[in-house]
Amino acid sequence: MSASTFLQHPQIDPVALQLGPLAIHWYGLMYLIAFALFFGLTLLRLRHPTYAALGWGRRDIEDLLFLGVIGIIVGGRLGYALFYRPLEFLAEPLRIFAVWEGGLSFHGGFIGVLLGMAWFAWRRQRNWLQITDFIAPCIPVGLASGRIGNFINGELWGRVADPALPWAMVFRGAGDLPRHPSQIYQALLEGLLLFVLLWLYARGPRRLGEVSAAFLVGYGLLRFTAEFWREPDAHLGLLGLGLSMGQWLSLPMVLAGAALWGWAHRQRATAA
């Protein structure tokens, strides 16, 4: 079968809006949407009895959003350099600042956000897990937004699919074989599904750390699963045990989430 027989990835102009010399790219626009969704959802989280009783307010959310943006950009860029292209960045260290070239790691950004939240906790004299429990249900929709941006750009495509798969798609630059639109899979799994599960779970009364633990385990398992349909990075390929870098980086999240879950339940038993 020829490439024209299959669905073709819609070749969307990466520039969403041109204002004179200023070009607004779809990927940047999706990040702005992600931050707006986070802000709106955290405002709703303020209604939760736990945080209302603790005196949380709009100023807290504004500061958390600012620190989160810094953590995502700095941590995501450093994580990409360290996890995915260490030799290239060691040879040219100044490339770390060339953010216009693209290249952000979720796991690096996640670490950056955690450090930002730790600084916030120290400055406000609040429990760090209280903060991560507060923001955890609001993160997945932002992840979905970012994956949609990947799809629009036609990047991070999936592995070669069965030609009979109705939604198998040919991506420009990936050859003539149909592939899984893994960006959409990730948007649905790590994004929408995880959001629904966490949002519903976090509505009830939870012990300190339980919502954060649910996020770690949920994201780690869903990302690990989605990676089976995503094409590994060409310069890395599959690593030990036939797993991708994304899968290896997700395993510590699952283990950390399970450990945190056990700790939270031991606290419950002690309190009882």
Burial class (CB in 10 A: 0-12, 13-18, 19+), 199: middle
CA distance 198 to 219: 10
Helical axes 245-271 vs 106-124, angle rounded to 10°: 30
Asked whether residue 123 is marked as a ligand-binding residue, the answer is no
Burial 228-246 (b: 16+ CB within 10 A, else e): ebbbbeeeeeeeeeebbbb
| Strand (E) or helix (H) holding 261 | helix 245-271
Contact at 8 Å (CB) between 112 and 75? yes
Contact at 8 Å (CB) between 89 and 96? yes
Chain length of the chain: 272
- CA angle, 150 as apex, 166 and 243 as ends, to 5°? 75
CA distance 189 to 192: 6
CA distance 76 to 79: 5
Q: Which residues contribute to the annotated binding site? A: 147
